[in-house]
Structure 1
Amino acid sequence: MCGRFAVTLPSDAMAQLFEARPANALPDVPNYNVCPTNDVHVVRSGDTDRQLLPMRWGFIPHWYKTPTDGPLLINARAETLAEKPAFRSACRERRCLIVGTGFYEWTKTEEGKRLPWYIHRKDGAPMVFAGIWQDWGRDDPAPTCAIVTTGANDDIGHIHKRMPLILEPADWPLWLGEAGHGAAKLMQPGATGILDAYRVDPEVNSNRAHGAHLVEPLAEA
């Protein structure tokens, strides 16, 4: 799964990278501790161009009467994405890209202590997650999103059994629906040898923690 991530790429650089038209009110960057329900940077295809805009991280199905009417849906499993009532329409019609730099995952000691790891691309490129989105609410619809996950590949399987679906630039048009049908073939773990992981300070266990030091390698790890 993916429960926290970092994003450091400036918004104008994102717009240039994705050839997208930026919205006026994008989330502040850098953010080294993006948490569920935060607004995140999302790229989606519009009628005439790509759009870079903020969305709430936490997909809200249309039948929820309030945002807390059911489970907080920050992730959506690729294996069941097309079947789950909450996600199947979005899987077909509302796919997006969610922009990050790296994400956090945790292992546990025998005593139950949570040990955080920071996972990032070895080449230093932005980490682009496959996502789905859904407008929620009648009077003033708010866009919400979830990160699609797959089984972990060998790069990080020793840390966690799940990972975000990470898309390469050549895959973006197909996932966004710009290159026709066939996005289902992308829903599998990516190639190995792309990701690196290292332990970071447990301070990131708090959703109130902020700052670049959160992604620095732990000296004694």
Structure 2
Amino acid sequence: MCGRFSLTATPEEVRELFGLLELEDFPARYNIAPTQPILVVIDGERAAPGSNLPERRALLVRWGLTPGWVKDPKDFPLLINARAETAIGKASFRAAMRHRRILVPASGFYEWHRPPKESGEKSQAYWIRPKKGGIVAFAGLMETWSSADGSEVDTGAILTVGANAAIARIHDRMPVVIAPEDFSRWLDCRTQEPRDIADLLRPADPDFFEAIPVSDRVNAVRNVGPELQEPVGEAQAAAAPAPRKAAGGGGSRGESGDDQMSLF
């Protein structure tokens, strides 16, 4: 599962990696939470100059996919993740898997190791980032929800897969990572059906990410600074006082709070 992530790269770095012609300036974000706007990359409707490939565009969507057939999002679960193994067969994700695949730029993600209660151990937060640094592209899905008054909201979810050997000690799921050489295949919903890109829905190599223990300050959406990614000893992190949590708690699927941005 991916319940929090970060994007601290510069707009120039994002534009260069994803081949974007235009990208508005944006601030570094260290604690991106469900229901907040997230930056995503999609294929455009026209060919890029000097290429027969569609021009890629960036836009903001609400993190928490809402299918178009939903009448009231308040009565529908907050779908921040989609299981890659079953997404094509689920009513909530089937159309997006076929027609609206996206890329989600990130600098890394946060995950919590939650031992069984009987173990007596405390949960530990980890900042998980590429060992070599840089930007990672998560596989995502997008849907546009329309309200009764005709207004529209673009929404999205991140695809997850069973964790690789390195991440499995922390959590059994992890985001699907799309390599730069596979961006075009993943985004091409015109000629690439879900069965054609199924090979991309796999865990990252075990040595791709590094997991750094951090304090549980990331649990609170009001904490948004770079100190969230400062390494701490695991024993120190477990002993630190827990911050007041927003409704839903850190990393939960139904998370929402007064200090989160919302597109609804």
What is the TM-score with the length of structure 1 in the denominator?
0.93
1:96 paired with 2:102, answer yes
The alignment partner of 1:20 has SS state of coil
CA distance in 1 between partners of 2:155 and 2:162 (Å): 24
* 62-71 or 194-203: bigger deviation: 62-71
Q: Does structure 1 residue 203 correspond to structure 2 residue 217?
A: yes
Give the letter for the 1:19 counterpart.
G
Q: How big is the shift at 1:32?
A: 0.6
Q: In the alignment, does 2:199 pair up with 1:193?
A: no
Consecutive unaligned residues of structure 2, counting only runs of 5 or more, are: 47-54, 236-264
Which AA in structure 1 matches 2:85? E
1:173-204 per-residue CA deviation (whole Å, 9 max, x = no partner) reads 11101794221111111222111001101111
Q: In structure 1, what is the equivalent of residue 56 of structure 2?
A: 50
Task: State the partner residue of 1:162.
Answer: 173
CA contact (8 A) 2:124 2:234 kept: no
In structure 1, the residue corresponding to 2:184 is in which secondary structure? helix
* Match for residue 131 of structure 2 among 97, 119, 122: 122
Calculate the TM-score normalised by the size of structure 2: 0.78
RMSD (CA atoms): 1.8
- Cα distance change of structure 1 residues 22 and 140 upon mapping to structure 2, 3 Å threshold: farther
CA contact (8 A) 1:173 1:179 kept: no
Runs of 4+ in 1 over 4 A off after TM superposition: none
Bigger fraction of residues in strand = 1
| Contact 2:107/2:136 (<8 A) preserved | yes
Q: Give the equivalent residue in structure 2 for 1:11.
A: 11
Distance in structure 2 (CA, Å) of the matches to 1:220 and 1:151: 24
Residue 244 of structure 2 is matched in structure 1 by none
SS class of match (1:9):
coil
3-state secondary structure, aligned to 2:74: coil
How far did 1:112 drift? Answer: 6.4
Please give the alpha-carbon distance, in whole angstroms, between the structure 1 residues aligned to 2:66 and 2:203: 25
The answer for unaligned runs of 5 or more in structure 1 is none
Q: CA deviation at 1:97?
A: 0.1
Partner of 2:242: none
